[in-house]
Amino acid sequence: MRLPSRFSFWLTCIAVFVGVSSCVRIGLAIWISADGHSTGPLLGAIAVGLLHDASMGVALGLPFLAGIYALSFLWRRKYGRWIGHIMLLVFSGVLVFSSMAEFFFWNEFSGRFNGIAVNYLIFPREVIGNIGESFNLALYMPIAGVAALALYLALFRRLEAALLARHSPSELIFSIASIPVLAGIAALSLHLAPFAPSRDREINEVAQNGMFSMAKAFLTNDSQYDGQYAGMDEAGAIKLLRGVVAQNNTTFLASVTERSLLRHVDNGRIPKKLNVVLVINESFGSTYIDSLDNRRGESISPNIDRLAKDGLLFTNVYATGDRTVRGLEALLTSFAPIPGISTARRNGSEGMNSMPYLLRQFGYQSAFLYAGDGRFDNMGHFWETTGFDNVWDERDFTEKGFKTIWGYADEYLYKEASNRLDQMTSDGRPAFLAMLTVSNHRPYTYPEGRIAKDPNAKTRTNAATYADWAFGNFVDSARGKPWFDNTVFIFIGDHGPKVNGSAHVPVDGFRVPLLFYSPRHIAAARDGTLGSSLDMAPTLMGLLGISFESPFFGVDLRRVPEGGGRIAMAHNFSVAFGTEGKLVVLEPNRTVRGYTFEPGPTQPQWQKWVDPQVMDLGIAQTQTAHRMFYGHQYHELSNTDGMRLATPDPKPTAELRR
């Protein structure tokens, strides 16, 4: 039986989609096989992926199947055929370009298109500019254009025949009737089929279809927790979570049945209201620290290691995600990660508990300074609605200098910060200035002559070395400022440079340095306590000796018992929670995976059993955080009238363990 021309052409297009998608999958499989992934599971991923591609192809193609019949009167006309050919050429270009882009995306993020790709589509100015500055488009775009044209020409005759063909009533009935049947099969396949054939994250990513994973991220970034992830009774969750954040200087202020972590933290009665300068460095993981995880045979962080000799360096701190907005969430609001996107990008983040709200109670003025455009990724709105008195971005810089599409080079950010600090401290009030850098980001370039590494090489390590130089130069230049001696500088990466590996949450890629530098006020030490970027704010308050009330999910790292501590991070739709030696990963469909975990640059190792205690702690924290956010129950500090402030007392502060 010969199929009608139009239906046959539609099936041909589905076959082309599956073929191109399979080529991408095979290419990715060959790529990761070089990293030691075994052939058997990869072949399984390729086989499973065929079904995934076919299902996604049908789902994407059904509107076109309906259109090719419903608009048959249009296609037989000359201008209609022109429209049809233009559409085929455009779709050929989209298919080829997106397929090529998958390899570049994998190189950067070790995964299929996800929420990061969605955000990139939302902010095309930065992304298109970044692509232009990072890659040789003069080479790649002609290749993509020729491939798209070749694909179009291969389908030209079939399309022409389909557009000119006349259909019988029976053909129309058959085609229209097949649409709901095919839609049902595709939907069931995409929803029920086992597209995670392995416990290896990267192999499962190979099995996915990139367009499906992107569509899923777009539709479910604001993912629900209850019913989708493993849960527990709320009373038990609150009790467990309070046990996580309780320390030897805390007193809970809410009733035992209340969904709240609100507590009084007693850091003594003689506060040191130092100026606070928080440097959130783009993508600066511990892998760049010479004295920690740098194994590249070249020095990257001589300045940070130099300053760390006179500062307090925490060596086992882990970021809560692999996106800047996730880092901002943890560092500025001390809020635990929940599945999907950061709360910094969700409706309802306005008025969340935060460092600026907290410090305002103690007379601090606050500002956020960003080297790029604050409109990107909703960051400016987040800063403006979580307590900062002022928010400045690249449009407010007084000195213009070297910049990429992402914003000004770090040294110009620090010059602007120094000038702003001069103004903020002129009236004698303590200042909190937080800033976010952009230089350690693709295209990985910077002004010439600063370091003995070529900016035109556009490598990660060169950009990280420049970021280290710029921070060291900033601190050294500040030594002559009147505010220097009464300032604590904090350096931390918002996240690591790249997350890859077989674990569903490759924890080693999340490790970041946390340095507190104030030689006159903070004793030098290296502290190996296991902790999270959530813990930066409570640790700072402890170092300042400021007693306070808050419901922060973080704790003072200096008060964590020996061998204690915990980490938490989100990666796409997975959330990990770990203690020293043990790690669990919570995933949709109430799946929980267990791993062994040791702090450092090594990957967690999958194990068949899940530690029940760590699992319960992970569930308690993630479930409670999700319910708090959507119940608007993490917003106490924005209403400072109802907060009780600590009062001065001449009694000296008790000396801490470190």
pLDDT over 50 at 652, yes or no:
no
User: Do residues 244 and 164 share a domain?
Assistant: no
Most confident of 50-54, 189-193, 255-259, 615-619: 615-619
Residue 657: pLDDT band with limits 50, 70, 90:
very low
Q: Are residues 111 and 186 in the same domain?
A: yes
* 474 lies in the same domain as 440: yes
Please, what is the end-to-end C-alpha distance for the chain in angstroms?
82
pLDDT classification of 333: cutoffs 50, 70, 90 = very high
Q: In this predicted structure, what is the pLDDT of residue 139?
A: 82
Which position has the token pair 């933290």?
265
pLDDT at 410: 98
Q: Residue 436 pLDDT more than 80?
A: yes
- Whether 278 shows a pLDDT value over 90: the answer reads yes
For residue 532, name the pLDDT band (cuts at 50, 70, 90): very high
Q: Are 585 and 204 in contact (CB under 8 A)?
A: no
In this predicted structure, what is the pLDDT of residue 122? Answer: 62
Looking at the domain assignment, is residue 657 inside a domain? no
Tokens of 228: 């989708």
In a domain, 654, yes or no: no
Whether 60 is covered by a domain: the verdict is yes
For residues 606 and 527, state if they share a domain. yes
What average pLDDT does this structure show over 466-494? 98
Looking at residue 340, its pLDDT comes to 85
Pairwise pLDDT comparison (415 vs 140), residue with the higher score: 415
Is the domain of 336 the same as that of 475? Answer: yes
Regarding whether 119 and 156 lie in a shared domain, the answer is: yes
Q: Which residue has the higher pLDDT, 506 or 362?
A: 362
Q: If you average pLDDT over residues 295-304, what whole number do you get?
A: 96
**Threshold 0.85, pTM exceeds:** no
Residue 655 has pLDDT above 60, yes or no: no
pLDDT at 74: 82
Q: Is residue 653 domain-resident?
A: no
Of 158, 191, 220, the residue that ends a domain is 220
- Is the pLDDT at 113 greater than 60, yes or no? yes
Residue 532 bridge partners (DSSP): 318
User: What's the confidence (pLDDT) of residue 116?
Assistant: 64
Whether 97 contacts 148, CB under 8 Å: yes
User: Which of 198, 220, 242 finishes a domain?
Assistant: 220
Mean pLDDT of 239-252: 97
What are the residue ranges of helices labelled H in 513-602?
536-544
pLDDT of residue 195: 60
Neighbours of 319 (CB within 10 A): 31
Question: In this predicted model, what pLDDT tens digit does every residue of 29-79 receive, in sequence order?
Answer: 888 887 766 777 788 888 888 888 888 899 888 888 888 887 878 877 888
Mean pLDDT comparison of 12-26, 158-172, 511-525, 628-642, highest-scoring range:
511-525
Distance of alpha carbon 272 from its chain centroid, rounded?
A: 34
Residue type, 396: D
**pLDDT over 70, % of the chain:** 90
| Residue 654 confidence (pLDDT) | 31
3-class SS at 605?
Answer: strand
* Strand order across the 591-597 sheet: 566-571, 574-579, 581-587, 591-597, 605-607
DSSP for 446-499 reads: --TTSSSS-GGG--HHHHHHHHHHHHHHHHHHHTTSTTGGGEEEEEEESS-S--
Query: Do 470 and 359 share a structural domain?
Result: yes
Q: What is the pLDDT of residue 588?
A: 82
Distance (Å, whole) CA 125 – CA 129: 6
pLDDT tens string 156-184: 988 888 888 777 777 777 777 888 888 88
Into how many domains does the chain fold? 2
Gap between the Cα atoms of 277 and 272, Å rounded? 15
- DSSP label at residue 340: S
- Domain end call among 185, 220, 255: 220
pLDDT tens per residue, range 451-461:
999 999 999 99
Residue 545 within any structural domain of the chain: yes
User: Average pLDDT of 345-364?
Assistant: 94
Over residues 635-642, mean pLDDT: 63
Inside any domain, residue 226: no
Please give the average per-residue pLDDT across 325-333, as a whole number: 97
Q: Say if residue 72 is in the same domain as residue 139.
A: yes
241-245, 388-392, 501-505, 583-587: segment of lowest average pLDDT: 501-505
Q: Are residues 269 and 202 in the same domain?
A: no
Is 545 found in the same domain as 435?
A: yes
40 in a domain, yes or no? yes
- Write down the pLDDT at residue 644: 38
- The verdict on 377 and 463 lying in the same domain is yes
For residue 112, pLDDT beyond 90: no
Can you give the residue range of the structural domain that contains 15?
Answer: 5-220
**Which whole number is the average pLDDT over 593-608?**
89
* 3-state secondary structure labels for all residues of 138-185: HHHHHHHHHHHHHHHHHHHHHHHHHHHCCCCHHHHHHHHHHHHHHHHH
242 with 215, same domain?
no
Query: Is the confidence at residue 441, as pLDDT, over 70?
Result: yes
Is 627 a member of any domain?
Answer: yes
pLDDT at res. 501: 64
pLDDT grade, residue 283 (50/70/90)? very high
Residue 639: pLDDT over 80: no
The arithmetic mean of pLDDT across residues 214-243, rounded, is 83
- Domain containing 280 — which CATH number? 3.40.720.10
